[in-house]
Chain A
Amino acid sequence: MGYLTAIKGILVKAKGIDAKLYDLVAIGEDGFGEVIAIVGDTYFIQVFTDVTGLSVGQRVEGLGMPLSLELGPHLTGHFFDGLGVSLEEEPFYHPTIRAETSYTFDFQPTVKKGQKVGKGAIIGTVSVKEGKQELSIPIIAPPTVGGVVEELYPGNHAIRGEPIAVISGTNVELSHHWPVRQPRPFKSRVWISQPLITGQRVVDTFVPIAKGGTLAIPGGFGCGKTVFQHTFAKYSDADKKVFVGCGERGNEMADFIESMRKRGKLHEVVVIANTSNMPLIAREGSIYSGVTVAEYLRDIGYSVLMMADSLSRWAEAIREVGGVMGILPAEEGYPPYLQERMQEFYSRAGCVKTFSDKKACLTISTSVSPPSGDFSEPVTQYASSLVDTTIFLSTELAYSKMYPAVDLELSFSKHRAQFANFWESTLKGTSKSIDDLLTLIHKGFDVEKMERIVGADALSDEQKVILHIFRFIRFNYLIQNAFDPKDVYTTPLKMAYIVSSIHSYYTYLTNMLKKGGKPKFQKDVEDRISKMRYADEASCKKLYDEVKGMLGYV
């Protein structure tokens, strides 16, 4: 048996244990950690639990497996710590590892005895009650198990310890273990083709997120990262959402579950909470737990959105470990391998063909918290170079309470052009309207800067039109109040109506200029457009038709 030889806060050293790199070890009475380096006969262990009270000579024992999660039908609708242990039991948190065995489900096979099934294939379902709804959750064999179904045991089973089937001599249970740092396998990758509809106007039209894509939201404190992530979780059109509260606030987590519960949508989420006062090392693990749960949900066929709020806290945990290990830091104290870790993490997003031949996408959305709101810091830089969509939030806009405070000058989505078809099929002409308005917005920034220098009177008529429409878009389209039940979500069709209306109005004004006239702003047109975001789809269409009529497009 092994014993502790040194204790340095989050890092301890041990000798005499039987363990491999990244294996879990038990420490003392109820502590545990993970082997992160082996030098000669010394094991370096990062500790997930409280180190206060440990002493040298105390027992350390290899557990013979890496940090793993129990993946099964018990996950959705529930709340776990960063290492996958249920948080629904004790009001004051004490980190441990504990197998979840108390959940039971009624298993109904969808395969027959004697049938041959592939590795990781769907073999049945369980049903769960959510309010009045009866929901069916697929059950898969572990990705390592396939072959001939030799036995089936329909009926009620605990998630662990009771076989539901025997496949080629191997017992299969409702849940299985998976090491969190190892991406789960799938049949093949599939092209990303669909937008993730979030209902956030500025996002969906100007900086869209792809189903299966990756997103980073860098922004200083109070700029709206968490509000964004919460709205994505509540309204986006992914089937399941995994929310990882990584080193952030407990009250926000409470608000999140409370509002999901009120909406009757708890069954759509898995919450992983490692708030900033929970063990630092588990914060590092929580991101991997989250993405592993998300991959599992993908593997049973769901479209999944995984959110991490905030990835910077995870990077900081990695930095702390590097610091104690004495790793020569690269930028701002971060170890040189941070970028590689980030890349490995983001690459777990994507669209795949599952072992059950379903197409399923895993989208990853991450908040980034740059110190002093300075976007040149390493985590922001690495993130924005690795992801498909970066939504930069502006401190200036947030301070003037213009939410969401998206800085459209910096933000970028590499999928925008790809989704032209989506917008064309929503409402003909919309994709050109979006392109033109985005160009106008970029011109608007320049004209606004110029106005500050030369004054409004010195602007040309064309510039006046640009500035006017730019501000009109800002106040009637880009800002969106997450706390107003009517404003918080806009359907793509409504977005298309509004964007097209503004585009028509802009075209109308430019035509006026082309004919050599002075621009005449139309208050009745503007009034109508400004009402559109609060209207339902039918009334929105009516307003759209009226606007078109008034501008002579009928």
Chain B
Amino acid sequence: MYEFRRLVKHKSVERVHDPVIVVRGLDANFGDIIRVEMGKEMRTGKVIAIEEDLYFVEIFEGTAGLNTSAIVSSTYEPITLPVSELMLGRVFNGIGEPKDDKSKLYSNKGWDVNGLILNPYFRDVPHEMIETGITSLDLLNTLVKGQKLATFASPGLDVLSLQMQILKQSITNSKGRFAVVFAGIGLSKDEEHFILSTIEEAQVADMSVLFLNSAKDPAMEALLTPRMALTAAEYLAHHIGLDVLVIMGDMLNYSNVLRNMASQKGELTVREGYPSYLFTDLASLYERCGTRRGKPGSITQLPFLTMPNDDITHPVPDTTGYISEGQIILTRTVAHAGVHPPIDILNSLSRMMHFAVSDKQAKLSNRVYHVYAEGKKFQDIAAMMGMDVLDEEAKLFVSLKEEIDELLLSQGANENRTLKQSMRIASQIVEKAPSI
């Protein structure tokens, strides 16, 4: 019974569906990567189920153009990424193949892209901030090493420039042993170009690794892109000891590919057609962050996703919110008010922040929030009933809120503010507020 599996090398396809083909008597394990040859064309797939001698192979490139004459063989391996320190400075596509003009990465270490499970007992509580140079984050919603903090954005906002600004500045502000892994999912040609030129200009290529999945790539590759990026991050963090920030997006694209695949495969779907395992799938990505007690190296994640119709209760942002350690909200309303980056601070929260900031910063941040919320409250009243209904104190709050918008929350796409600078600006504004 045990030996038959090593006997059959190649076998023909019995049935072709989309995106799965069924092969009888293949020699393969569950999860193996499968090569499919059809004339001169090579495709890649993965064993997703085995039933007696029937093997169900999901084809990454899709099954259009295949028929039962295809020849199938197994690599006897799950999906791996060759890892090495030489990944730094490189640009890959979504499945880890070089996209720059440099050669293929040779490494004798292939790491399973499904990643490592960091044992919670060996985790350190995240307690050190990453300075992104962006006030709305650093001062008010601090990104903490080892955490995951999701960013939800209204459709159509330019999140890519914010992503690039964070990438550049966090590298510049770090004191060595820091790298950014970027995973772009479903990018356009223009976006790819923008990413590459920004990184080159800022001279931060050495400390970054890019995984760029283009909108034109086979759908399945979108599902592999974050796994590749996180595997690279795990190697750099847990093997080399770097602090790694992983920026990924758009996770809505990712989730939609997952949804389409699930419905094609006839799997159990729940809210709005997303598969019942959406939470587990996203968590298997986002949980791949953290720091180890007593060891150097950490992974911090900043996933970005679009909120369809600005609806935070849509299954994808909602599920993400249940996994992420807080959320940063970017809205069109804030953008229209002229604030850039358009972070809606009142609805944003970094749950790990209190572990990482000084008492002084915590107090100042609370004070800014308080003044801002008061100002916003009176601004809303004035919008309905006119400025005249406000007393002097209320008017003061409104003008301070406007100052916060203009001087504190707005900053240029190349403006890298230190935490000290942010704190100084903030203090100067809230000092003018009546004490509570």
Given A251-B126, A329-B268, A373-B313: A316 and B280 interface contact (C-beta under 8 Å): yes
Question: Is B121's CB under 8 angstroms from A79's CB?
Answer: yes
Tell me which residues from 34 to 70 in chain B have a Cβ below 8 Å from any Cβ of chain A: 48-53
State A361–B287 Cα separation when bound (angstroms).
Answer: 35
A contact residues around B48 at 8 Å (CB): 9
- Across-interface contacts of B289 in A (CB, < 8 A): 251
Given A92-B118, A277-B288, 10 further pairs, Cβ under 8 A: A57-B5, A88-B121, A91-B295, A222-B326, A254-B124, A273-B120, A276-B287, A371-B319, A372-B271, A372-B318
Distance from B135 Cβ to chain A, minimum over Cβ atoms (Å): 20
Indicate if the CB atoms of B119 and A54 lie closer than 8 Å.
no
Known contacts A91-B118, A222-B349, A399-B347; A52 and B268 CB within 8 A of each other: no
* A483 and B354 contacting across the interface, CB-CB below 8 Å: yes
Whether the Cβ atoms of B31 and A57 lie closer than 8 Å is: no
Does B160 sit within 8 A of A, measured CB to CB? no
Residue A531 CB within 8 A of the other chain: no
The answer to whether A55 touches B50 (Cβ under 8 A) is yes
Judged by a CB distance under 8 angstroms, whether B106 is at the interface is no
Q: In the complex, are the beta carbons of B318 and A251 less than 8 A apart?
A: no
Q: When the two chains form their complex, are residues B30 and A54 in contact, meaning their CB atoms are under 8 A apart?
A: yes
| Any B CB within 8 A of the CB of A257 | yes
Nearest Cβ in chain A — how far from B369, in angstroms? 8
Shortest CB–CB separation between residue A219 and chain B, in angstroms? Answer: 11
- The answer to whether B50 touches A7, judged by C-beta atoms less than 8 angstroms apart, is yes
Partner of A56, one of B52, B126, B321: B52
Convert B284-325 into 0s and 1s, putting 1 for each residue whose CB lies closer than 8 angstroms to a CB of A: 100111101001000000000000000001110011011101
10 contacts between A and B (CB under 8 A): A51-B30, A51-B31, A56-B50, A57-B2, A273-B120, A273-B121, A275-B120, A276-B323, A319-B268, A401-B369
Cα separation A400 to B376 with both chains bound (whole Å): 12
Within 8 Å by CB of B28, from A55, A90, A92, A93, lies: A55
Interface string of A247-261 (1 = CB under 8 A from B): 101110111011000
* Measured CA separation A293–B78 after assembly (Å): 37
- Interface flags for B324-349 (1: CB within 8 Å of A; 0: not) read 01110000000000000000001101
- Chain B residues with Cβ below 8 Å from A371 are 270-271, 315, 318-319
- B residues less than 8 Å from A3 (CB atoms): 1-2
A373 CA to B318 CA, complexed, in Å:
9
Which residues of A have CB within 8 Å of B292? Answer: 91
Please name all residues of chain B whose beta carbon is closer than 8 Å to the beta carbon of A249 when the two chains form the complex: 287, 323, 325
Question: C-beta contact mask, A317-334 vs B, less than 8 Å → 1, else 0?
Answer: 001100100000100110
Contact residues in B for A222 (Cβ distance below 8 Å): 321, 326-327, 349, 351
Instruction: Select one of B2, B115, B126 contacting A58, CB under 8 A.
Output: B2
A250-B123, A253-B120 as given contacts; A52 in contact with B114, CB under 8 Å: yes
Instruction: Assess whether A250 is in contact with B287, with CB atoms less than 8 Å apart.
Output: yes
Chain A residues within 8 Å of B186, by CB:
none
Which residues of chain A come closer than 8 Å to B314, judged between CB atoms? 372
Q: Nearest Cβ in chain A — how far from B77, in angstroms?
A: 9
- CB contact list, B380-426 vs A, under 8 A: none
The interface residues of chain A lying within 8 Å CB-to-CB of B147 are: 251
Q: Are B117 and A92 in contact (CB under 8 A)?
A: yes
B116 at the A/B interface (Cβ < 8 Å)?
A: yes
> Is there contact, CB below 8 Å, between A250 and B118?
yes
Given A7-B49, A251-B123, CB of A278 within 8 Å of CB of B117: yes
A399 to B277, CA, bound (A): 27
Question: Closest residue to A88 on the B side, CB-wise?
Answer: B121
Task: Tell me if B279 and A313 are in contact (CB < 8 A).
Answer: yes
* B327 neighbours in A (Cβ, 8 Å): 222
B256 to chain A minimum Cβ distance, whole angstroms, is 17
How many B residues are at the interface, by size bracket?
A: 35 or more
Chain A residues closer than 8 Å to B349, beta-carbon distance? 222
Contact with B along A270-281 (1 / 0, CB 8 A): 000101111010
B interface residues, Cβ below 8 angstroms from A: 1-2, 4-5, 28-32, 48-53, 78, 112, 114-126, 146-147, 267-271, 276-277, 279-280, 283-284, 287-290, 292, 295, 313-315, 318-319, 321-323, 325-327, 346-347, 349, 351-352, 354-355, 369, 373
The CA-CA distance from A319 to B284 in the complex, in Å, is 18
Residue of B nearest to A316 (CB): B279
Bound Cα distance from A52 to B146, whole angstroms: 27
**Chain A residues with CB under 8 A of B346:** 399
Q: How far is the CB of A407 from chain B (nearest CB, A)?
A: 17
A552 lies within 8 A of chain B by Cβ: no
How long is the Cα–Cα vector from A333 to B273 in the complex, in angstroms? 11
Query: Are A333 and B280 closer than 8 Å at their CB atoms?
Result: no
Chain B residue with the shortest CB-CB distance to A245: B120
Of residues 42 through 59 on chain A, the ones whose CB sits less than 8 Å from some CB of chain B are 51-59
Chain A 2-29, CB-CB to B under 8 Å as 1, else 0, gives 0101111100010000000000000000
State whether the Cβ of A445 lies closer than 8 Å to any Cβ in chain B.
no
Among A5, A91, A255, max chain B CB count under 10 A is at A91
Residue of A nearest to B47 (CB): A7
Question: B-facing mask of A170-210, CB < 8 A → 1, else 0?
Answer: 00000000000000000000000000000000000000000
Q: A87 interface residue, CB < 8 Å from B?
A: yes
Distance to closest chain B CB from A277 (angstroms): 4
Measured between beta carbons, the chain B residues less than 8 angstroms from A369 are: 322
Best-buried of A9, A275, A277 by chain B (most CB within 10 Å): A277
**Counting CB contacts under 8 A, is A412 at the interface?**
no
- B49 touching A8, Cβ below 8 Å: yes
Q: Would you give the shortest CB distance from A281 to chain B, in whole angstroms? A: 11
Q: Is the pair A5, B52 in contact by a Cβ cutoff of 8 Å?
A: yes
Interface residues of A in 261-287 (CB under 8 A from B): 273, 275-278, 280
Most A-side CB within 10 Å, residue of B30, B280, B326, B369: B30
A57 and B268 contact, Cβ closer than 8 Å, known pairs A6-B51, A90-B119: no
Question: Quick check: A52 and B31 within 8 Å, CB to CB?
Answer: yes
Report chain B residues within 8 Å CB of A8.
49-51
CB-CB under 8 A from A472, the residues of chain B are none
A375 within 8 A of B: no
A221–B114 CB distance below 8 A: no
Q: Please determine whether A52 and B117 come into contact, CB atoms closer than 8 angstroms.
A: no
Q: Which residues of A contact B29 (CB under 8 A)?
A: 52-55
Question: Which residues 385-441 in A have Cβ within 8 Å of B in the complex?
Answer: 399-401
The reply to whether A53 and B30 contact each other, CB–CB distance below 8 Å, is yes
| Residues A7 and B30 in contact in the complex (CB < 8 Å), given A222-B326, A333-B276, A371-B271 | yes
A53:B31 contact, CB within 8 angstroms: yes
Q: Which residues of B contact A400 (CB under 8 A)?
A: 373
Closest to A87 in B: B121
Contacts of B49 in A (CB 8 A): 6-9
Chain A neighbourhood of B31, CB < 8 A: 51-53
The answer on a CB contact under 8 Å between B268 and A323 is: yes
- Say yes or no: A52 contacts B78, CB within 8 Å: yes
Give the residue name and chain of the A residue nearest to B370 (CB).
Answer: A401
Residues on the B chain within 8 Å of A7, using CB: 30, 49-50
Q: Is the CB of B277 within 8 A of A320?
A: yes
User: Judging by beta carbons under 8 Å apart, are A257 and B121 in contact?
Assistant: yes
Q: Give the complex CA separation of A51 and B315 in angstroms.
A: 28
